[in-house]
Amino acid sequence: MQTEANVLPFTSVRSVAPIAVHTHGGRAKCLQRLIRLDLPIPETAALSFDTVHKLAEGQVLRVNSLIDNFGENALLSVRPSSEDPDWGGPGAILNIGMNEAYHARLSQTHGADAADLLYFRFVQAYALNVERLDPEFFEFDKKTPYSEALKSSLTAFEAETDEPFPQDIETQLFRVLRSMAQAWQGTTARLLRQANGAPADAGLGLVVQEMSVSVGVGECGIGVIQLVDEKTGKSLVRGKYTPQTQGRAALKCANATMPLAKDGSKISLEDKNAEIFQQLLEAAQISRARLRAEMQVEFAISNGKLSILDAVRVPFSTKALLRVSVQLAEDGIISREEAICRVPARSLTELLHPQIDPSGNREVLAQGIAASPGGAFGRIAFDSMAAQSYQAREEACILVRRETSPEDIRGMHSSVGVLTERGGVTSHAAVIARGIGIPCVVGASIRIDLKERTLTTESGETFKEGDVISLDGSTGEALNGAVAMMPPSMDKWYLKLMTWADEIRDIGVRANADTPADAAMARSFQAQGIGLCRTEHMFFEADRLTAVREMIFADSSEDRNEALSRLLPMQRSDFIELFRIMSGLPVCIRLFDPPLHEILPNDRAGAKQLAMALDRPLSDVTRRIEHLSEFNPMLGMRGVRLGITIPEIYAMQARAIFEATIESSKAGHQIEPEIMIPLISAQKEVELVKTQIDAVAATVRNETGETFNYRLGVMVETPRAALIAHKIAQHAQFISFGTNDLTQMTYGLSRDDAGRFMNEYVRQSVYPEDPFHMLDTEGVGELLRIGAERGRQTNPEVTVSLCGEHGGNPESIAFCRKAGFDYVSCSPFRVPVARLAAAQLAASDAKK
């Protein structure tokens, strides 16, 4: 059949020509490296992506020279070799070359049983993968003798294909290769690998290897060995050995397998053949040291002779991968930089789940399956849109669904935890939650009424949207209210890696923290200070909120100052507490910012309460609330606009900051506070506020006779502020980009409202990603570049940073580092991710 065809090209991995991962795949490359380490690898040939692509396209290529490469009477296996092992590939096919003649020969040398087994296995694999026949014709129970299975298979093959089983090795090999090449192009295979990050045109290489016949006389069998525990990362000799069989699948049958090293309980390979065990151990150690990774080594023993068939990286949990990477560096096998780079930064969130404090009060409202560990609390959100709205308002929420589907992913990203009525540990909700690193409880004993938007427990208690619950993803419990949390434990491997990371990191990492709890978390994660402390949250507690509202409603400066004088001591003590926790580190405090509607009561009861507090008629209060309501609160009277229109607010806050600085200093906590003005859109706004703050500082210095320093800067959230950064920087010691609002304004897109079409937009690739999750480097990023560059034009000393939620994303950090930012600030929980990601970028730059 191949008489007029071209010859199929291949590379013997034993040859001097180096094989590249991007042309022949990782397995081929790895085998070449093992051969060069003089490990006993059977003859192996590699087919390039290009060759396999031709096969998939239907080109007929002659395989005789490939067969010749292996000499006469070789049985061959074919394995996939893709660029990244995570991208998968078709299953291995063994025993190519087996036919009646070979069977007869093998019966002589290895016994009839071995020959029957190998021939049957090949017919079965060929029928299923090459001819795509119905598997049921080729399945037999364990009691069926191999001879009978073989006979039935050959009959079934002929009956189904109207042809006898091909005896010609060229036909066998060509068709096997072609079937594997085509399998790679199948829709399911393509979708699966693209889900794992493969590009659309990812190639497949194939590895053809002479088989070591691990069935027959003498010591025969197959096994795997590795020098590490894949769950913990601890060093040990681990593996399995199954005599008289072939194929990795056989290792799954626990009855027939034995341990490798002596363990006293069960006969081991070491017991049976100490010499081979020694050879194997050495091969595994060489692989680890020279391939510079923990490898799982696949081996075969054929009549007392050891062959190494393959070696793949041991798949680790994050915790184990981290330990192994540190261990490899400590053993001198890899550099510290490499250890840093081997742990995906985002995966740290898995390690660092805060936990629910077991000593706290727990009122369990429902029990479910513990599907993703960690603890969290937040408001109930019954769908993605609600979850995204809460996130936009910077309120933590728990997504509560019957079950989740891909439409809910955005909502899950916006939530701190997920609770579902249905599903198990492999349900969509469970898988995604573990991926994101948020706690998840599935199959919980709750009933959700989506129309009424309520959740009812078994005991009949009903919760509404917005009610606060907690999740313990480690016990599978949903709890009533917000329960006490405690920070995650950080083991010595983690601490060592992060120490190394901090040594090479060249961009600062701070945390966004509004409360003492946040600050403590930030400190425990070694944030280098607070990059954004939102003061308005401090005023939303009931007693303070009333004073804030009175201040907003005050007709006279006197009334206003009276309300503010009640707020001053509370605000001062907030800062004293924060400064104590952050002692010695910078704390950047953003002045009062929220839109008016967040301050005003939004229902009749609230209005009534305010009317009483203000001693005014209710109608008066409601009229004023109506008058103050805004069409587009995001673009309304907030930030510095409030600060300039009601200057008493900022004056009070500045005083509280300065007085707290003095008191903290007396208590031994040195802080140089940073004061940040929000929502700047004009140079004059900075000048006016700066003049005012400086005056307050002078007053406080005069009153107290104490000295203190502070830095004044600007939050850049409007496109205009970025465009005129050269003017702003003349009056600012730092500029910090608030990318949440900046994204809203650059796109003309309210985060509160984007939920309605964001899914559709991302699905149609109108936006490559939701710009509120992934920094838009093209548009928003352009303003960041312009702002940083112009700011430094007039003030080379100005500190430049990013304090939006993007701050914890490795991609954003890469962007900021490249643009020369001084630091990023992110939620406390993302600080370790940011520290590691930044170190990885530095390491990768150093490598170049």
Residues near a copy of itself (CB under 8 A) are 389, 628, 630-637, 641, 644-645, 679, 681-682, 684-685, 688, 717-720, 723-724, 741, 744-750, 752-754, 756-757, 760-761, 764-767, 776, 778-780, 782-783
Q: Active site residue: 803, 806, 816, 826, which one?
A: 803
H-helix segments, 292-383: 318-330, 336-342, 348-351
Helix (DSSP H) and strand (DSSP E) numbers for the chain: 34, 32
Question: Which CA distances in Å does 765 have to 172, 608, 759, 760, 769?
Answer: 44, 48, 10, 8, 8
- Of 140 and 747, CB closest to a copy of itself: 747
Which residue has tokens 């009601």? 646
Gap between the Cα atoms of 622 and 819, Å rounded:
49
Two tokens, residue 325:
């990477």
Q: How far is the CB of 392 from a copy of itself (least distance, A)?
A: 8
Give the DSSP per-residue string, 198-229. --TT--EEEEEEEPP--SSSSS-EEEEEEEE-
Cα–Cα nearest to 589, from 646, 636, 652: 652
In whole angstroms, how close is the CB of 648 to a copy of itself at the nearest point? Answer: 14
d(CA 614, CA 551): 10
CB atoms within 10 A of CB 520: 16
Nearest CB to a copy of itself, comparing residues 674 and 741: 741
Residue 455 C-beta: closest distance to a copy of itself, Å: 20
What is the smallest separation between the CB atom of 692 and a copy of itself, expressed in angstroms? 12
Q: Which residue in 413, 428, 669, 806 is the catalytic one?
A: 428
Q: How far is the CB of 759 from a copy of itself (least distance, A)?
A: 10
CB of 715 to a copy of itself, least distance (A): 11
Separation of alpha carbons 662 and 223, rounded Å:
69
Least distance from C-beta 643 to a copy of itself, angstroms? 11
Q: Is-catalytic flag, 803?
A: yes
Answer left, alpha or beta for residue 363, where phi above 0 means left and psi between -120 and 50 means alpha: beta
Classify 132 in phi/psi space as left (phi over 0), alpha (psi -120 to 50) or beta: left
Q: Can you name the residues that pair with 242 across neighbouring β-strands?
A: 222
CB 798, min distance to a copy of itself, A: 19
> Which CB sits closer to a copy of itself, 520 or 628?
628
Nearer to a copy of itself, 735 or 839 (CB): 735
Active site residue 22: no
Q: What is the CA radius of gyration of the chain?
A: 33
Nearer to a copy of itself among residue 368 and residue 755 (C-beta): 755
Q: Which two tokens stand for residue 459?
A: 């005991």
Of 644 and 662, nearer to a copy of itself (C-beta) is 644
Sign of CA dihedral 330, 334, 340, 346: negative
**Residue nearer to a copy of itself on the CB measure, 11 or 718:** 718
Output phi, psi for 140, to 5 deg. -135, 150
Where are any strands of DSSP class E within 269-410? 295-302, 305-313, 355-356, 364-367, 369-372, 375-381, 397-401
Residue 400 pairs in a beta bridge with 419
CA atoms within 13 A on the CB side of 513: 31
Nearer to a copy of itself, 136 or 778 (CB): 778
Identify the helix (H) or strand (E) that includes residue 553: helix 542-553
Residues 6+ apart with CB under 8 A from 570: 538, 544
Q: How far is the CB of 804 from a copy of itself (least distance, A)?
A: 14
CA proximity to 469, closest of 481, 461, 459, 460 = 481
Q: C-beta of 412: minimal distance to a copy of itself in Å?
A: 21
Q: Which of 98, 70, 37, 42 is nearest to 212 (CA)?
A: 42
- Give the residue among 843, 770, 838 at the shortest CA–CA distance from 808: 838
Nearer to a copy of itself, 316 or 772 (CB): 772
Nearest CB to a copy of itself, comparing residues 255 and 645: 645
Catalytic residue list: 428, 803
